Amino acid sequence: MSVVLPPPGSTSRVLRHLRHMLPPQGSSVKGNGKFSRRGVPRYGGNGMPAYVQPKDRIAYWNIAPGDEVVVTRGSFVGKDGQRKQYGGIVASVDQERNLVWLRAAEEDKPELTERIPTQYKHMLPRLYDPEDPSKGYSSNVSLVPKPVHYSNLSLKLPTNLQLPENVKLDLKKGVYASRLTRSGVKYDRKKGAFVWERYAIVPTLDQGTVKVHVPWKKSEGRQSVRRSNASVAHVVDRETWVPWSPTDPIFVSAFQGKGLGSLSRGFRTSPASEERLVKAMEEWRMLHGSKKAQQRRRGLLLVGDMVRQSVKAPPVAQAPTPSEQVAMLNESRAGWSRTIDDSDASASFAESDYLDLAPAEGPLSSAVSRTLPLVAAHSSSSGAIPTKRDGKTGRLGPEHTADKRTVDAWPIELLMKDDLTNEGGLKTRMRRWREKQLEKKQLDELAKFEEHQNIQALRDLKL
C-alpha cells in the first residue's frame, strides 16, 4: 500500500485574505458548516475532520508550506527499533480547521518517509488497467497522509540562519522553537497580501530562552521546461506580416460594423426622405399658412370658446430605411471605385470584400460552397486582388478569387477600429488629457516668449 491521494488544503505561502475567519455562508447543512455532516453515520464520515468555530481559528499562521517541523505529541517505533518523533516538510494547510499535512523531504529515503503521519483510507476497488480487466482490481485500503493540529507542531530553525553574535546555537544538530511569536501585521498593496515578521523562542543551555528572528522561506521560482514543439526566439521575433500601405485606396463606410439597425448614425437622411419632406412641407404650409395658424403659432386659440387647438409641428427629414441605406452605401462605394486609377486597382480594398471573397477562410466557410484556390496567374506581384468592380455597387463579382496571402494582408484593423480602440476608457482619456496639457504648455511658452519680445522691443524704443 502506498500514498495514492495528495494531501488536501492550501499550498500558498502568503496570506491574501481572511476568509477562513468567516462563518460558513448560506445553509450550514449543505455547505461546510457545523451541521453539514448531520445524519451521516460515524462509519460513513470518511475521516472528515471536526468543525472548528471561527473564534477558535488562527488568523495569522507562523508556519507556512515549505517549513520543516516536528510533531511534539505522539511517537512511533522505527524499523531500527528506536522510538522516534513524527516530522517532515509542511505540504499544505487547512486554515478553517487548523490542520497541517506533512511530506518527506526526500521520498526515496525510508528513514524520512516513515516519519510522516499516515492513516488508512477505505476506497472502492478500481481496475489496474481499464482496457485489460484480467489484471484485476486494486486494494480497497490505501495509505494517505494524516492531518496534524497546528498546536502540535514545533518549527525547526534553518541550518543557514544568521544568528546574533550573543546567541550561540548548534543549528546543524537541529534546534526547534518552543514557541512562535510575530510582529504587527500590515497589508502590502503591491504584493496584495498581509506581511509580518515571525520570531522563535528557543531554549538555551543555561535554562533560559532567546528570541530569534526566523525569515520566511522564499518560494522557488517556476522553471520553464523547453518542449520539443517550442519555437526558437528569433523565429518568434521575426515579423512576417506585411501591413497595408496608407496610400492604398481604402473604402470603409461611416457606419460599418454597427449593423443595419444603427445605420442612421452614418446617414442621417436620404434623397428619398428629402423628397418626402418637400411634399410634407407644402401640405403643412397649405394647412397652417392661414391667419389663424399664425395666431396659433403665437399661442393657443380658443375654438368655439370650448376647445383648444394647437399647431402641429412642422415635419422634419426622417432617417433612411434599411433599403435606402444599402442603396446609398452601394452608390458611395461605386463612386469610390470610379475614382481609382488602373495602377492602384490591384491594391484597392473595401469592407465588402471580406463577404465577397473570404467566407471560405473564415467562420462563414460552411455556409458558402465557393472556395478560394491559390491564384497565381490573376494575382499581381504583390499578391493583391485583381480588382474589377461592379459599376453600380462597387463590389467584386463572383468571378474574382484571392489566395490566402491576399486575405491575410487585408487591413482588418480598419474594420475593427471600434473594437480595438476604447475612446471612453481611462487610458484613452488620459492620453488625450496629456496631449491637451502639452499643447497648453507650448502655447503658454509661446505667449511668454512673445511677451518677452514685446517688452524688449519697448525698452529699445525708450532708449
3-state secondary structure of 402: coil
Q: What DSSP character marks residue 388?
A: -
User: Do 121 and 5 meet the contact criterion of CB atoms below 8 Å apart?
Assistant: yes
What is the pLDDT at residue 153?
A: 92
What is the pLDDT at residue 31?
A: 52
What is the pLDDT at residue 370?
A: 42
* 137 grid coordinates: 482490481
- 361-411 pLDDT, tens per residue? 454 454 443 444 433 333 343 444 455 777 788 887 666 665 566 666 667
Q: Between 407 and 331, name the one with better pLDDT.
A: 331
- 128-177 pLDDT, tens per residue? 888 888 888 888 887 888 899 999 999 999 888 888 888 888 888 888 89
Please state, as a whole number, how many other Cβ atoms lie within 10 Å of the Cβ of residue 244: 16
Strands (DSSP E) contained in 282-407 are 301-303, 307-309, 349-350
* 407 grid coordinates: 486575405
User: Model confidence at 266, in pLDDT bands (50, 70, 90)?
Assistant: low
* 441 grid coordinates: 504648455
**Overall average pLDDT of the 99-113 stretch:** 82
- 273-324 pLDDT, tens per residue? 888 889 988 888 887 666 555 555 555 544 444 445 555 778 888 888 888 8
User: Do 198 and 60 meet the contact criterion of CB atoms below 8 Å apart?
Assistant: no
| Kind of pairing between the strands at 148-149 and 186-188 | unpaired
User: Model confidence at 326, in pLDDT bands (50, 70, 90)?
Assistant: confident
Mean pLDDT (the chain, rounded): 75
* 242 grid coordinates: 506585411
Q: Please tell me the distance from the alpha carbon of residue 179 to that of residue 209, in angstroms, as a whole number.
A: 10
Q: Please tell me the distance from the alpha carbon of residue 395 to that of residue 386, in angstroms, as a whole number.
A: 13
- 201-245 pLDDT, tens per residue? 998 877 788 899 999 988 766 667 777 788 888 877 776 666 666
Q: Is the pLDDT of residue 262 over 50?
A: no
Non-local (6+) Cβ contacts of 396 within 8 A are 352, 353, 356, 357, 385, 387, 388, 389, 390
The string of DSSP codes covering 178-235 is SEEEE---EEETTTTEEE--EEEEEE-TTS-EEEEEEPPPPPPPPPPPPPTTPPPHHH
305 CB burial (10 A radius; 0-12, 13-18, 19+):
exposed
* 89 grid coordinates: 516538510
Share of the chain above pLDDT 90, in %: 18
**Cell numbers 486582388 correspond to what residue?**
385
CA-closest candidate to residue 395, choices 457, 311, 334, 329:
334
**Cell numbers 518523533 correspond to what residue?**
85
What is the pLDDT at residue 343?
A: 64
Q: Between 397 and 334, name the one with better pLDDT.
A: 334
Q: Please tell me the distance from the alpha carbon of residue 83 to that of residue 104, in angstroms, as a whole number.
A: 18
| Kind of pairing between the strands at 153-155 and 148-149 | unpaired
- 32-88 pLDDT, tens per residue? 566 665 665 555 445 567 788 889 999 999 999 999 999 988 777 677 777 788 888
User: Do 122 and 45 meet the contact criterion of CB atoms below 8 Å apart?
Assistant: no
**Overall average pLDDT of the 247-270 stretch:** 58
What is the pLDDT at residue 408?
A: 64
Q: Please tell me the distance from the alpha carbon of residue 435 to that of residue 365, in angstroms, as a whole number.
A: 44
**Cell numbers 511658452 correspond to what residue?**
445
